[in-house]
Amino acid sequence: MKTMKTAVVYFSATNVTRSCAEAIHGELIRRGADSALVDVTPFSARSDPPPFREYGGLVFGAPVYGDFPPSVFADWLPTLAGEGKPCATFVTYGGRTPGYALYHMYELLREAGFRVRLSAEFPGRHTFNLAGWNMLPDRPDERDFETAREFAALALRRFDPGNRDAFSLQKPFGYDASIRMRREPPPSAERRWAQPVRVKECSLCGLCEAECPARAMDAQSGESDPAKCIECLHCVYICPEGALRTDDRLGPFYPEFLKEFGITEDILRHKQSRIIAAPWDTAA
Ligand SMILES: Cc1cc2nc3c(=O)[nH]c(=O)nc-3n(C[C@H](O)[C@H](O)[C@H](O)COP(=O)(O)O)c2cc1C
Ligand code: SF4
Ligand code: SF4
Protein backbone atom coordinates (compact mmCIF):
# COMPACT_ATOMS: atom_id res chain seq x y z
CA MET A 1 0.00 0.00 0.00
CA LYS A 2 1.23 3.53 -0.83
CA THR A 3 2.38 5.59 2.17
CA MET A 4 -0.06 8.39 2.91
CA LYS A 5 1.40 11.85 3.42
CA THR A 6 -0.43 13.70 6.20
CA ALA A 7 0.03 16.97 8.08
CA VAL A 8 -1.16 17.96 11.54
CA VAL A 9 -1.57 21.72 11.36
CA TYR A 10 -2.12 23.45 14.68
CA PHE A 11 -2.40 26.80 16.45
CA SER A 12 -1.34 26.71 20.10
CA ALA A 13 -0.54 29.62 22.41
CA THR A 14 0.25 27.70 25.62
CA ASN A 15 1.06 24.21 24.29
CA VAL A 16 -2.25 22.47 25.08
CA THR A 17 -3.27 22.07 21.44
CA ARG A 18 0.34 21.36 20.58
CA SER A 19 0.50 18.38 22.98
CA CYS A 20 -2.66 16.88 21.42
CA ALA A 21 -1.28 17.57 17.92
CA GLU A 22 1.93 15.75 18.86
CA ALA A 23 -0.01 12.72 20.12
CA ILE A 24 -1.99 12.61 16.84
CA HIS A 25 1.14 13.11 14.73
CA GLY A 26 3.02 10.38 16.65
CA GLU A 27 0.19 7.89 16.13
CA LEU A 28 -0.06 8.71 12.40
CA ILE A 29 3.64 7.92 12.06
CA ARG A 30 3.31 4.74 14.17
CA ARG A 31 0.60 3.59 11.76
CA GLY A 32 2.84 4.12 8.74
CA ALA A 33 1.84 7.59 7.54
CA ASP A 34 4.44 10.12 6.43
CA SER A 35 3.21 12.83 8.80
CA ALA A 36 4.39 16.42 9.21
CA LEU A 37 3.71 18.60 12.25
CA VAL A 38 3.03 22.21 11.22
CA ASP A 39 2.82 25.00 13.81
CA VAL A 40 0.87 27.98 12.46
CA THR A 41 0.75 29.95 15.71
CA PRO A 42 3.15 32.77 14.75
CA PHE A 43 1.77 35.23 12.22
CA SER A 44 4.68 34.56 9.85
CA ALA A 45 3.85 30.82 9.67
CA ARG A 46 0.42 31.64 8.27
CA SER A 47 1.64 34.17 5.72
CA ASP A 48 3.83 31.53 4.09
CA PRO A 49 2.19 28.12 4.68
CA PRO A 50 3.72 24.90 3.35
CA PRO A 51 2.26 23.49 0.10
CA PHE A 52 -0.66 21.51 1.54
CA ARG A 53 -1.41 20.25 -1.97
CA GLU A 54 1.09 17.43 -1.55
CA TYR A 55 -0.75 15.87 1.43
CA GLY A 56 -3.33 13.09 1.20
CA GLY A 57 -5.06 14.20 4.41
CA LEU A 58 -4.80 17.06 6.89
CA VAL A 59 -5.64 17.45 10.56
CA PHE A 60 -6.40 20.99 11.77
CA GLY A 61 -6.31 21.78 15.50
CA ALA A 62 -6.93 24.96 17.51
CA PRO A 63 -7.97 26.12 20.96
CA VAL A 64 -11.41 27.59 21.68
CA TYR A 65 -11.49 31.32 22.39
CA GLY A 66 -14.91 32.66 23.38
CA ASP A 67 -16.74 29.69 21.78
CA PHE A 68 -14.88 30.03 18.45
CA PRO A 69 -11.43 29.20 17.09
CA PRO A 70 -8.91 32.08 17.42
CA SER A 71 -9.95 34.78 14.94
CA VAL A 72 -6.54 34.91 13.25
CA PHE A 73 -6.65 31.13 12.65
CA ALA A 74 -10.29 31.25 11.49
CA ASP A 75 -9.45 34.09 9.08
CA TRP A 76 -6.60 32.02 7.63
CA LEU A 77 -8.51 28.77 6.93
CA PRO A 78 -10.55 30.16 3.99
CA THR A 79 -7.33 31.24 2.26
CA LEU A 80 -6.26 27.59 1.84
CA ALA A 81 -6.97 25.59 -1.29
CA GLY A 82 -8.75 22.41 -0.18
CA GLU A 83 -9.15 20.91 -3.66
CA GLY A 84 -11.40 18.16 -2.31
CA LYS A 85 -8.82 16.87 0.17
CA PRO A 86 -10.04 14.99 3.24
CA CYS A 87 -9.32 16.57 6.60
CA ALA A 88 -10.10 16.13 10.28
CA THR A 89 -10.51 18.86 12.89
CA PHE A 90 -10.03 19.06 16.63
CA VAL A 91 -10.28 21.72 19.30
CA THR A 92 -8.98 22.01 22.84
CA TYR A 93 -11.00 23.96 25.39
CA GLY A 94 -10.41 25.11 28.95
CA GLY A 95 -13.26 23.28 30.68
CA ARG A 96 -16.15 25.64 29.97
CA THR A 97 -17.40 24.59 26.54
CA PRO A 98 -16.03 24.07 23.01
CA GLY A 99 -19.02 26.17 21.90
CA TYR A 100 -19.33 26.68 18.15
CA ALA A 101 -15.64 26.17 17.37
CA LEU A 102 -15.87 22.77 15.66
CA TYR A 103 -18.85 23.72 13.58
CA HIS A 104 -17.20 26.99 12.57
CA MET A 105 -14.04 25.19 11.44
CA TYR A 106 -16.20 22.68 9.58
CA GLU A 107 -17.93 25.49 7.68
CA LEU A 108 -14.72 27.39 6.90
CA LEU A 109 -12.88 24.29 5.69
CA ARG A 110 -15.79 23.20 3.52
CA GLU A 111 -15.90 26.66 1.97
CA ALA A 112 -12.15 26.32 1.29
CA GLY A 113 -12.85 23.10 -0.60
CA PHE A 114 -11.85 20.46 1.99
CA ARG A 115 -13.94 17.42 2.86
CA VAL A 116 -14.19 17.27 6.67
CA ARG A 117 -14.24 13.58 7.64
CA LEU A 118 -13.98 13.59 11.44
CA SER A 119 -13.76 15.86 14.51
CA ALA A 120 -12.73 15.71 18.16
CA GLU A 121 -12.60 17.86 21.28
CA PHE A 122 -10.10 17.69 24.12
CA PRO A 123 -10.35 19.45 27.49
CA GLY A 124 -7.11 21.16 28.51
CA ARG A 125 -5.77 23.52 31.15
CA HIS A 126 -7.21 26.99 30.76
CA THR A 127 -4.91 29.69 29.40
CA PHE A 128 -6.00 31.95 32.24
CA ASN A 129 -4.39 29.57 34.74
CA LEU A 130 -1.42 31.82 33.94
CA ALA A 131 -3.33 34.44 35.94
CA GLY A 132 -3.99 32.07 38.87
CA TRP A 133 -7.15 30.33 37.64
CA ASN A 134 -7.42 26.61 38.32
CA MET A 135 -9.35 25.13 35.38
CA LEU A 136 -8.22 21.57 34.54
CA PRO A 137 -4.57 22.19 35.53
CA ASP A 138 -3.63 18.53 34.85
CA ARG A 139 -5.25 18.12 31.42
CA PRO A 140 -4.76 16.87 28.85
CA ASP A 141 -3.74 13.67 30.61
CA GLU A 142 -2.91 10.15 29.44
CA ARG A 143 -6.60 9.32 28.82
CA ASP A 144 -6.96 12.39 26.62
CA PHE A 145 -3.85 11.41 24.67
CA GLU A 146 -5.26 7.89 24.27
CA THR A 147 -8.37 9.45 22.68
CA ALA A 148 -6.08 11.59 20.51
CA ARG A 149 -4.35 8.42 19.27
CA GLU A 150 -7.73 6.75 18.54
CA PHE A 151 -8.70 9.90 16.64
CA ALA A 152 -5.50 9.66 14.58
CA ALA A 153 -6.18 6.00 13.73
CA LEU A 154 -9.73 6.78 12.64
CA ALA A 155 -8.59 9.85 10.66
CA LEU A 156 -6.18 7.68 8.70
CA ARG A 157 -9.02 5.29 7.79
CA ARG A 158 -11.27 8.19 6.81
CA PHE A 159 -8.53 9.77 4.65
CA ASP A 160 -8.39 6.63 2.51
CA PRO A 161 -9.89 7.57 -0.90
CA GLY A 162 -12.00 4.39 -0.81
CA ASN A 163 -13.57 5.18 2.57
CA ARG A 164 -17.30 5.90 2.28
CA ASP A 165 -18.22 6.54 5.95
CA ALA A 166 -20.63 9.46 6.15
CA PHE A 167 -19.75 12.54 8.16
CA SER A 168 -21.38 15.90 8.63
CA LEU A 169 -21.96 18.28 11.51
CA GLN A 170 -25.35 19.70 12.32
CA LYS A 171 -25.50 23.47 12.75
CA PRO A 172 -25.82 24.24 16.48
CA PHE A 173 -28.66 26.43 17.74
CA GLY A 174 -27.67 30.11 17.90
CA TYR A 175 -24.67 29.76 15.55
CA ASP A 176 -25.87 32.31 12.98
CA ALA A 177 -26.73 34.88 15.65
CA SER A 178 -23.34 34.38 17.32
CA ILE A 179 -21.54 34.87 14.03
CA ARG A 180 -23.46 38.10 13.43
CA MET A 181 -22.58 39.31 16.94
CA ARG A 182 -18.90 38.54 16.38
CA ARG A 183 -18.84 40.58 13.18
CA GLU A 184 -20.78 43.56 14.46
CA PRO A 185 -18.80 45.08 17.35
CA PRO A 186 -15.81 47.11 16.10
CA PRO A 187 -12.51 46.22 17.78
CA SER A 188 -12.14 48.13 21.01
CA ALA A 189 -9.20 50.50 21.46
CA GLU A 190 -9.41 50.02 25.25
CA ARG A 191 -7.03 47.70 27.09
CA ARG A 192 -8.87 44.56 28.10
CA TRP A 193 -8.32 42.31 31.15
CA ALA A 194 -6.68 39.42 29.38
CA GLN A 195 -4.06 41.48 27.58
CA PRO A 196 -0.42 41.14 28.62
CA VAL A 197 1.38 43.70 30.77
CA ARG A 198 5.15 44.14 30.99
CA VAL A 199 6.03 44.27 34.67
CA LYS A 200 9.79 44.80 34.59
CA GLU A 201 12.62 45.90 32.34
CA CYS A 202 13.87 43.24 29.98
CA SER A 203 16.66 42.56 27.50
CA LEU A 204 14.37 43.44 24.55
CA CYS A 205 15.10 40.08 22.90
CA GLY A 206 12.10 40.60 20.59
CA LEU A 207 10.66 37.08 20.94
CA CYS A 208 7.23 38.28 22.07
CA GLU A 209 6.92 40.46 18.98
CA ALA A 210 8.28 37.85 16.55
CA GLU A 211 6.01 35.07 17.86
CA CYS A 212 2.81 37.04 18.38
CA PRO A 213 0.03 35.35 16.34
CA ALA A 214 -1.73 38.66 15.69
CA ARG A 215 1.20 41.04 15.11
CA ALA A 216 -0.13 42.94 18.13
CA MET A 217 2.96 43.10 20.37
CA ASP A 218 5.57 45.83 20.33
CA ALA A 219 8.67 44.51 22.10
CA GLN A 220 10.21 47.98 22.54
CA SER A 221 7.29 49.42 24.49
CA GLY A 222 6.13 46.07 25.95
CA GLU A 223 2.57 46.93 24.96
CA SER A 224 0.10 45.08 22.77
CA ASP A 225 -2.26 46.85 20.40
CA PRO A 226 -5.74 46.48 21.98
CA ALA A 227 -7.39 46.45 18.55
CA LYS A 228 -5.29 43.48 17.38
CA CYS A 229 -4.48 41.47 20.54
CA ILE A 230 -6.48 38.22 20.71
CA GLU A 231 -5.52 37.70 24.39
CA CYS A 232 -3.95 34.32 23.72
CA LEU A 233 -1.15 34.99 26.27
CA HIS A 234 1.42 33.30 24.04
CA CYS A 235 3.81 36.18 24.79
CA VAL A 236 3.39 35.72 28.56
CA TYR A 237 3.94 31.97 28.17
CA ILE A 238 7.13 32.23 26.11
CA CYS A 239 8.89 35.31 27.53
CA PRO A 240 12.24 33.86 28.68
CA GLU A 241 12.59 36.50 31.42
CA GLY A 242 9.08 36.35 32.91
CA ALA A 243 8.75 40.04 32.12
CA LEU A 244 5.20 39.76 30.78
CA ARG A 245 2.26 39.04 33.07
CA THR A 246 -1.51 39.07 32.92
CA ASP A 247 -3.50 42.10 33.98
CA ASP A 248 -4.11 42.32 37.77
CA ARG A 249 -7.87 42.20 37.22
CA LEU A 250 -7.93 38.78 35.50
CA GLY A 251 -6.96 36.49 38.42
CA PRO A 252 -9.53 37.77 40.94
CA PHE A 253 -12.29 37.42 38.31
CA TYR A 254 -12.07 33.59 38.53
CA PRO A 255 -14.74 32.96 41.26
CA GLU A 256 -17.21 35.17 39.40
CA PHE A 257 -16.44 33.33 36.15
CA LEU A 258 -17.17 29.94 37.80
CA LYS A 259 -20.43 31.30 39.23
CA GLU A 260 -21.53 32.93 36.00
CA PHE A 261 -21.18 29.70 34.03
CA GLY A 262 -22.23 27.33 36.85
CA ILE A 263 -18.89 25.51 36.73
CA THR A 264 -18.17 23.26 39.73
CA GLU A 265 -15.27 20.98 40.64
CA ASP A 266 -17.53 18.01 39.94
CA ILE A 267 -18.37 19.27 36.46
CA LEU A 268 -14.70 19.86 35.66
CA ARG A 269 -13.73 16.39 36.90
CA HIS A 270 -16.16 14.81 34.44
CA LYS A 271 -14.96 16.62 31.32
CA GLN A 272 -13.93 14.05 28.75
CA SER A 273 -12.25 14.02 25.38
CA ARG A 274 -14.66 13.08 22.62
CA ILE A 275 -14.37 11.90 19.03
CA ILE A 276 -17.24 13.06 16.82
CA ALA A 277 -17.39 10.52 14.04
CA ALA A 278 -20.94 10.06 12.82
CA PRO A 279 -23.42 12.43 11.15
CA TRP A 280 -25.80 12.25 14.07
CA ASP A 281 -23.15 13.27 16.62
CA THR A 282 -23.36 16.96 17.47
CA ALA A 283 -20.64 19.56 17.76
CA ALA A 284 -22.33 21.59 20.51
C1 LIG B 1 -9.09 34.51 24.95
C2 LIG B 1 -9.43 33.13 25.42
C3 LIG B 1 -10.75 32.68 25.38
C4 LIG B 1 -11.06 31.38 25.79
N5 LIG B 1 -12.37 30.96 25.67
C6 LIG B 1 -12.69 29.71 26.07
C7 LIG B 1 -14.03 29.23 25.92
O8 LIG B 1 -14.89 29.87 25.33
N9 LIG B 1 -14.31 27.99 26.39
C10 LIG B 1 -13.37 27.23 27.03
O11 LIG B 1 -13.71 26.15 27.51
N12 LIG B 1 -12.07 27.62 27.11
C13 LIG B 1 -11.71 28.84 26.64
N14 LIG B 1 -10.40 29.24 26.71
C15 LIG B 1 -9.38 28.29 27.19
C16 LIG B 1 -8.63 27.62 26.03
O17 LIG B 1 -9.53 27.15 25.05
C18 LIG B 1 -7.82 26.41 26.52
O19 LIG B 1 -7.06 26.73 27.62
C20 LIG B 1 -6.98 25.84 25.38
O21 LIG B 1 -6.75 24.48 25.63
C22 LIG B 1 -5.64 26.55 25.22
O23 LIG B 1 -4.93 25.93 24.18
P24 LIG B 1 -3.45 26.34 23.70
O25 LIG B 1 -2.54 26.17 24.88
O26 LIG B 1 -3.17 25.39 22.63
O27 LIG B 1 -3.51 27.75 23.23
C28 LIG B 1 -10.04 30.51 26.30
C29 LIG B 1 -8.72 30.97 26.34
C30 LIG B 1 -8.41 32.25 25.90
C31 LIG B 1 -6.98 32.70 25.92
S1 SF4 C 1 10.02 38.19 25.12
FE2 SF4 C 1 10.24 39.04 27.21
S3 SF4 C 1 12.41 39.57 27.33
FE4 SF4 C 1 11.97 39.34 25.15
S5 SF4 C 1 11.38 41.43 24.44
FE6 SF4 C 1 9.50 40.39 25.01
S7 SF4 C 1 9.14 41.01 27.15
FE8 SF4 C 1 11.31 41.43 26.69
S1 SF4 D 1 0.23 40.47 22.34
FE2 SF4 D 1 -1.81 39.59 22.51
S3 SF4 D 1 -2.08 38.41 20.62
FE4 SF4 D 1 0.13 38.82 20.83
S5 SF4 D 1 0.96 37.01 21.88
FE6 SF4 D 1 0.48 38.54 23.45
S7 SF4 D 1 -1.62 38.05 24.14
FE8 SF4 D 1 -1.27 36.99 22.16
Local mean pLDDT, 10-residue blocks, the chain (284 residues): 90 98 98 96 87 90 97 95 94 96 97 96 98 98 98 96 90 94 73 90 97 97 93 98 95 97 96 88 57
Q: What's the rounded Cα separation, in Å, for the pair 188 and 238? A: 26
0.85 exceeded by the pTM?
yes
Judge contact between 28 and 156, C-beta under 8 A: yes
Ligand 3 pocket residues where CB is under 6 Å: 196, 212-214, 216-217, 224, 229-235
* Residue nearest atom 30 in ligand 1 by C-alpha distance: 65
Which atom of ligand 3 is the closest one to the Cα of 194? 7
| 144 ligand 1 Cβ < 6 A | no
Question: Given this model, what pLDDT does residue 189 score?
Answer: 72
- Is position 184 within any domain? no
Give yes or no: residues 10 and 119 share one domain. Answer: yes
Does residue 190 fall inside a structural domain? Answer: no
- Cα of 218 from ligand 2 centre, angstroms: 10
**Same-domain pairing of 232 and 155:** no
| Strands 223-224 and 217-218, sheet pairing | antiparallel
* 34 domain-assigned: yes
The minimum-distance atom of ligand 2 relative to the CA of 235 is 1
What is the domain count for the chain? Answer: 2
The residue segments making up the domain with residue 169 are 5-174+268-276
Q: CA-based angle 107:112:113, to the nearest 5?
A: 100
Return the DSSP state at 258: H
Inter-helix orientation angle 16-30/142-159, to 10°: 50
* C-alpha 280 – ligand 1 centre gap (Å): 26
Per-residue pLDDT, 1: 60
CATH number at residue 203: 3.30.70.20
